[in-house]
Amino acid sequence: MTTKSYDGTIERKLFSEGEIAAAVERLAKAVARDFAGQPLLVLGVLKGALYVTVDLVRAISRVPDGPSQVELDFLVVSSYGNSTRSSGEVRMLKDTNASIAGKNVLVVEDIIDNGLTLQYLRSLLLGRGPASLKSCVLFDKPYNRRVDVPIDYVGLVTPDEFVVGYGLDYAESYRNLPYLAQLRPWVFSE
């Protein structure tokens, strides 16, 4: 499906490609400053955080005097299936191979909504004895939080809508949109 064929299904653009890039740049600077001279393991949460993780790590590497080295790995979790409401049940589809003990770990998520996914990942990773564990989320939907989970780096706050693009999907479509968008309501009833 080309990006053009999505056009009739998009209600409005929420953040442009440029606004997202600027937010990622801000996050990268903050992370690079906090881990200056130290090694850092960046763990991207697939599939949604694929875009932000890659762009973030690239931007961190451009900051002078950032981390001494950056290790990059991914894990895959699922909490949605094909619906727009989180099932509340987080499933690990593929764990990371990276060893966590003694490392500075940064978990990168695309978006936080009720908070259960990040809470699940934090308690899992904390059990493996990292030197430090921080969380970075590109998009924050703070309206329906069910758990109080610490977030160290937040990119952009979105409206209380189901959003797609820049890695975020609806039923596996729209991830490749370069911007963040809200879909027309009828899309969900198709």
- Is 113 an annotated catalytic residue? yes
Write down the least CB distance from residue 119 to ligand IMP, Å: 8
Task: List Cβ neighbours of 113 (8 Å cut-off, separation of 6 or more).
Answer: 86, 141, 144, 145
The reply on whether position 135 binds ligand IMP by CB under 6 A is: no
Q: With CB under 6 A as the contact rule, which of the stretches 9-17, 27-35, 97-105, 112-120 interacts with ligand IMP?
A: 112-120
Which amino acid appears at position 25 of this protein? E
Catalytic residue among 113, 140, 148, 152: 113
Range list of H helices, the chain: 17-34, 50-62, 116-126
Look up tokens 């979105």; give the residue: 158
- Binding of residue 109 to ligand IMP (CB under 6 A): yes
Contacts (CB under 5 A) with Mg ion, residues 96-135: 110
Q: Is residue 86 involved in binding ligand IMP (CB under 6 A)?
A: yes
Residue 49 in 3-state DSSP?
coil
What is the pattern of x (binds Mg ion, CB under 5 A) and - over residues 45-64? ---x----------------
Query: Which amino acid, 52?
Result: V
Given a contact cutoff of 8 angstroms between Cβ atoms, the answer to whether 170 and 164 are in contact is: yes
Q: Which residues are catalytic?
A: 113
**Residues within the interface to ligand IMP (CB under 6 A):** 45, 48, 79-80, 86, 109-117, 162-164, 168
